[in-house]
Amino acid sequence: MTTSSTQTLHTREILDSHGNPTIEVDVQLEGDATRHTTVLYGLENIFSHAFLG
């Protein structure tokens, strides 16, 4: 597994379809690779699995 440096990180709070607060994250990595994920508040431990996995 190779690692890349983060170039930009953009986060925002949105509400899901049930009105629950949710974190939405866009990350641009070195070399123009991008990643996007959404995670319910309270699921921080799962964030790395959702984002990396």
Burial of 2 (0-12, 13-18, 19+ CB in 10 A): exposed
- Note down the domain range covering 21: 6-52
Kindly give the pairing relationship between strand 21-29 and strand 34-40.
antiparallel
Say if 19 falls within a structural domain: yes
> Number of structural domains, the chain?
1
pLDDT higher than 60, residue 50: no
Say if 1 falls within a structural domain: no
| Residues 20-49, mean pLDDT to the nearest whole number | 77
| Residues 23-38, mean pLDDT to the nearest whole number | 86
- How many residues are recorded in the chain? 53
More confident residue, 53 or 42: 42
pLDDT higher than 70, residue 39: yes
The DSSP 8-state label assigned to residue 1 in this structure reads: -
| Residues 11-33, mean pLDDT to the nearest whole number | 87
Question: What percentage of the chain exceeds 90 in pLDDT?
Answer: 4
Say if 10 falls within a structural domain: yes
